[in-house]
Amino acid sequence: MKGVVLAGGLGSRLRPLTSITNKHLLPVYDRPMIYHPLGTLAGAGVKDVIVVTGGNSAGDFMRLLGDGRSLGFRCLNYAFQEREGGIAEAIGLSRAFVGDEKFVVILGDNILENPITPYIEAFSRQEGGARVLLKRVSNPRDYGVAQVENGRVVSIVEKPSDPVSDLAVIGVYMYDARAFELIETLKPSGRGELEVTDLNNAYIRMGQLEADEITGWWSDCGASIDNLLEANVRVSEIMGRERP
């Protein structure tokens, strides 16, 4: 299975920290933010990865990550997103790299305490379709929110004013290659972007989206300065427990 790390965006919620660099290059404890999602993929046995980025700092990713071998990858590729076209558009830029394989997408500012290996293994056994990861949060209005009935996701609403649940769809998505055809059918949202929520709902309508509720700590650490601070503290605590 191939991996896609999305590391574009303006990072406007982290300004002035992001005024001169991409948010995914900011430190989270002892390493750049993007090392954490890359480490999550490497830890799950994903060996071939593409990083999708954009903006003036795109070259910095190549200087930092190189060919990816030092991070445990067999192959690390890069794609450039020319504009703020949304997560689904960024996923579409990986089409030539992914080919006909299943693949896992992780947002470059998402950090998970626990491995995602069990979920990737479950998706490998899944005949096709898509799989998303969920986490109960105290602020569901800030995320795509899943409505679950009888153990299945029946809809996902992006940043609802009146959430039907506290289950946020976190930034880890797994798809078969039909995702690229579905992306081509999506219409831009009110903010002019192709939304990953629309892609996930397309799979729901086909009856082919599965979901898992994760355990352990998770952070969308690019959401705010406070989230970034909390991520630094939490990662330092986790690393401290792991070190002798």
> Domains of the chain, with CATH numbers?
2-126+170-184+212-242 (3.90.550.10)
- Report how far apart the first and last C-alpha atoms of the chain are (Å, whole number): 33
Residue 110, pLDDT score: 96
By the 8 A CB rule, do 218 and 110 touch? yes
CA-based nearest residue to 88, from 203, 221, 222, 210: 203
Q: Which helix (H) or strand (E) holds 227?
A: helix 225-242
What gap in Å lies between CA 244 and CA 235, rounded to an integer? 16
By the 8 A CB rule, do 228 and 222 touch? yes
What gap in Å lies between CA 178 and CA 89, rounded to an integer? 14
Residue 242, pLDDT score: 62
What gap in Å lies between CA 191 and CA 92, rounded to an integer? 18
Hey, what amino acid is at 228? L
Residue 241, pLDDT score: 66
CA 75 to chain centre: 19
What gap in Å lies between CA 161 and CA 96, rounded to an integer? 37
Token pair of 137 as six digits: 């949060």
Residue 197, helix vs strand vs coil: helix
pTM of the model: 0.93
Residue 240, pLDDT score: 72
CA-based nearest residue to 77, from 38, 123, 39, 114: 38
Per-residue pLDDT of the chain (244 residues; tens, 9 = 90+): 999 999 987 778 889 988 888 999 999 999 999 999 999 999 999 999 999 998 888 889 999 999 999 999 998 999 999 888 899 999 999 999 999 999 999 999 999 999 999 999 999 999 999 999 999 999 999 999 999 998 889 999 999 999 999 999 999 999 999 999 999 999 998 888 899 999 999 999 999 999 999 999 999 998 899 999 999 999 998 877 665 5
What gap in Å lies between CA 199 and CA 62, rounded to an integer? 29
Residue 103, pLDDT score: 98
Q: 98 burial class (0-12, 13-18, 19+ CB within 10 angstroms)?
A: buried
Using the structure block, give the residue that is written with the tokens 């986490």.
135
β-pairing verdict for 130-136 and 209-213: parallel
What gap in Å lies between CA 62 and CA 78, rounded to an integer? 8
By the 8 A CB rule, do 5 and 106 touch? yes
Q: What is the DSSP letter of 69?
A: G
